[in-house]
């Protein structure tokens, strides 16, 4: 059993406190998630015969290592360029996990992308998978400042990728997502820098009880800004399985977003805090990326 709930408006500075329904949304702003695959599904991340494969490169720059996926047919001469997803791992992992074939904690993200592209679910994109193990923080970082991997993205990842790959360099074409500990990276780097990112996706994560007041305090400028929803080209998507150890953290964080009227979608499903869930969340959210440039303001 899966489900999604769209929330916007409410008690904060966005939406003015009045009730809001999906019918009020701009037509181009997603108001529901695609269908979540069932627990234990495998075909979507298998190396399917006849499906062209993208390439994964291991990059080292300024003492940092990261993996970069380029889609099938990637061309340096394509005049349109490609949008970019920055995809972070969880605690105890590194930049290799999202493309690992290891069944328990391997993401096979490149195969998920290959198959989604072949099935017509997504447009081609470049995906950057950094090692955030040395900078990820479970503490909220004041938006616009350093810390919480902000420097890694601004000083190393983005300059390298935008200088060496044929990617679009505007915020409308940058998304960030992360699983578990990587969800904190997505909050601190993405929601904390909406001048750089327009999509934020959180898989099996949310602020701990000891950090929630700090999140409200440090992110006050974002949570209360009436322009925040207009800067989000998709609602913040937060998903956790019913048996995920982070389920209550996800719920509590969504409650905070709702209190301030920040556009979000909650995905609930049968699943645990494992790669089966996170692979399915990546598959779920990919079609919501880079389809809207109008923002989700009411």
Q: What is the pLDDT of residue 7?
A: 54
CB hemisphere CA count around 193 (13 angstroms): 23
How far apart (Å, rounded) are the C-alpha atoms in residues 110 and 115?
9
C-alpha radius of gyration, the chain, whole number: 18
How far apart (Å, rounded) are the C-alpha atoms in residues 140 and 189?
10
- Of 259, 291, 265, which Cα lies nearest the Cα of 11? 259
How far apart (Å, rounded) are the C-alpha atoms in residues 266 and 242?
12
CATH homologous superfamily, domain 3-288: Alpha/Beta hydrolase fold, catalytic domain (3.40.50.1820)
CA 183 from centre of chain? 8
Could you read off the pLDDT of 220-268 as tens digits, one per residue?
Answer: 999 999 999 999 999 999 999 999 999 999 999 999 999 999 999 999 9
Confidence of residue 8 (pLDDT cuts 50, 70, 90): very low
The angle at the Cα of 206, spanning 202 to 209, to the nearest 5 degrees, equals 175
Do residues 192 and 215 touch, judged by C-beta distance below 8 A? no
Range of lowest pLDDT (9-23, 137-151, 168-182, 270-284): 9-23
CA 218 from centre of chain? 20
Give the CA diameter of the chain.
52
Rounded mean pLDDT, 181-200? 98
Do residues 108 and 279 touch, judged by C-beta distance below 8 A? yes
DSSP sequence for 154-207: IIIIHHHHHHHS-B--SGGGEEEEEETHHHHHIIIIIGGGTTT-SEEEEES---
9 has a pLDDT exceeding 80: no
Could you read off the pLDDT of 207-223 as tens digits, one per residue?
Answer: 999 999 999 999 999 99
Rounded mean pLDDT, 31-50? 96
Whole-number average pLDDT of the chain:
91
Burial 245-263 (b: 16+ CB within 10 A, else e): ebbebbeebbebbbebbbb
């Amino acid at each position: 059993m899966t489900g999604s709930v769209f929330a916007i408006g409410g008690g904060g500075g966005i939406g003015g406190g009045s009730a809001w329904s999906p019918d009020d949304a701009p037509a181009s702003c997603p108001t529901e998630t695609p269908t979540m695959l069932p627990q234990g599904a495998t075909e979507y991340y298998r190396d399917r015969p006849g499906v062209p494969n993208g390439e994964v490169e291991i990059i080292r720059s300024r003492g940092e290592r990261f993996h970069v996926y380029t889609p099938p047919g990637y061309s340096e001469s394509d005049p349109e360029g490609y949008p970019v997803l920055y995809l972070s791992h969880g605690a105890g992992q590194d930049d290799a996990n999202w493309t690992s074939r290891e069944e328990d904690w391997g993401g096979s993200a490149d195969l998920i992308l290959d198959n989604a592209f072949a099935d017509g679910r997504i447009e081609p994109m470049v995906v950057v998978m950094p090692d955030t193990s040395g900078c990820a923080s479970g503490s909220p970082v004041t938006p616009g400042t350093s810390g919480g991997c902000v420097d890694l993205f601004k000083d190393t990842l983005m300059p390298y990728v935008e200088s060496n790959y044929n990617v679009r360099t505007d915020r409308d074409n940058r998304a960030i997502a992360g699983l578990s500990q990587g969800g904190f990276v997505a909050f601190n780097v993405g929601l904390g820098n909406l001048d750089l990112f327009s999509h934020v996706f959180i898989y099996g994560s949310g602020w701990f009880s000891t950090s929630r007041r700090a999140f409200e305090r440090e992110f006050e400028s974002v949570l209360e800004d009436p322009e925040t929803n207009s800067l989000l080209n998709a609602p913040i998507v937060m998903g956790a399985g019913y048996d995920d150890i982070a389920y209550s953290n996800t719920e509590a964080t969504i409650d905070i977003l709702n209190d301030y009227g920040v556009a979000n979608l909650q995905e609930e499903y049968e699943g645990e805090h494992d790669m089966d869930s996170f692979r399915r969340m990546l598959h779920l959210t990919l079609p919501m990326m880079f389809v809207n440039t109008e923002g989700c303001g009411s």
